Amino acid sequence: MTPIILKNAESGATARILAEVGFNLYQLQVPVGSRTVDVLDATDDFEATGKTPSHSGIPLLFPFPNRIRGARYNWAGREYVLEGIHQDGKGNAIHGLVIDRPWRVIDRKPDAVVGQFQLSVDAPDRRSLWPADFLIEVRYEMHESALRCDLRVVNPDRAPLPFGFGTHPYFRVPLSAGSRRDDCLIQAPAAEEWELVDCLPTGKRLPVSGRKDLREGQELKGLKLDDVLTGLSAKGAQFETVVMDPSAGLEVRQIFDKAFRELVVYTPPHGRSVCLEPYTCTTDAVHLAEQGLDGGWRALAPGAEFRTWFQISAGLIYA
């Protein structure tokens, strides 16, 4: 594997991306004063092997994030079976069609890169799995203390393109070698959750309660979550999540566009990271749409495009 390295000339902040494996940005290092914060977690062998891309960095989940029940769905009167893609061990398809395939690099600068993936071009063996062809384009730019991502989805087909998009960032905890994971906190502005049974939504939205209520922050000690939160409150024109390491005085902030209406919160059992995952729809949204329920599932008209963005920064908590 040959990583793409982005570097901001002013601060020295760097990012590393594997275009060969889902255009996964798996390392982000941001200087904060005299320290360098390692923002993202990845498996030890990811750069060398590209194995299990859903466990490292920022996996890009498209044209559906998380699960589709039974690895099959109906669209426009036809059934589609999602064969040959990753499943969750319970017969559900998971995390889309672009996470494990090479992307094309169409533009590159020292501090920015653009990757592109078109289903019919870059994974023709998977074209029959989806109702329409699609093109997804991602631009990463390394700023002084933040990473910016701008995303564009285009429907080049003559049929409507059903889709949802999500990211699956693994934020490293703690943020300093001298800190403890259990003392770190996470914060997110979600007032509701989707009721889940075996990681799939029943269609009910419930008020968050107990330790799923992250609005005022929750310590990671004893926190075990794998939940889809919703009812997000905006800060201006955007949403925001925070990972805090109080003993180090450091934080990582993620801001994202209002197109992201759900947030999956996951605490991996290995304990090295926490995932705060912005989604444009809930998991299994295509099946909720069949039931007439609004889970955020979208349909993009032929020739139309969809744009969104997110940004991740590191800094001092009280800066």
Query: Rounded to whole angstroms, how far apart are CA atoms 201 and 198?
Result: 8
Q: How far is CA 118 from the centre of its chain?
A: 19
Return the pLDDT at 86.
93
119's enclosing H/E stretch is helix 119-122
Query: Rounded to whole angstroms, how far apart are CA atoms 279 and 44?
Result: 27
Query: Is pLDDT at 262 greater than 80 in this prediction?
Result: yes
Query: Rounded to whole angstroms, how far apart are CA atoms 245 and 310?
Result: 22
At residue 289, the 3 state secondary structure works out as helix
**247: confidence class by pLDDT, cuts 50, 70, 90:** very high
- How many of the other CB atoms lie within 10 Å of CB of 306? 17
Question: 4-316 has which fold?
Answer: Beta-galactosidase; Chain A, domain 5 (2.70.98)
pLDDT digits 0-9 by tens, 267-299: 999 999 999 999 999 999 999 999 999 999 999
At residue 46, the 3 state secondary structure works out as helix
- The mean pLDDT value for 78-84 works out to 96
At residue 189, the 3 state secondary structure works out as coil
Distances, alpha carbon 155 to alpha carbons 63, 265, 282, in Å: 12, 30, 21
Return the pLDDT at 115.
98
pLDDT digits 0-9 by tens, 190-241: 999 999 999 999 999 999 999 999 999 999 999 999 999 999 999 888 999 9
Q: Give yes or no for a contact between 43 and 27, defined as CB atoms under 8 angstroms apart.
A: no
- The mean pLDDT value for 173-188 works out to 97
Return the pLDDT at 140.
98
Query: Rounded to whole angstroms, how far apart are CA atoms 300 and 317?
Result: 40
**319: confidence class by pLDDT, cuts 50, 70, 90:** low
Both tokens of 15, joined, read 């990012």
Query: Is pLDDT at 318 greater than 90 in this prediction?
Result: no
Domain ranges of the chain: 4-316
Q: What percent of the chain stands above pLDDT 70?
A: 100
Return the pLDDT at 1.
83
Q: What is the pTM of this model?
A: 0.97
- The mean pLDDT value for 169-185 works out to 97
Query: Rounded to whole angstroms, how far apart are CA atoms 13 and 7?
Result: 6
Return the pLDDT at 235.
87
- The mean pLDDT value for 70-76 works out to 97
Query: Rounded to whole angstroms, how far apart are CA atoms 64 and 283?
Result: 8
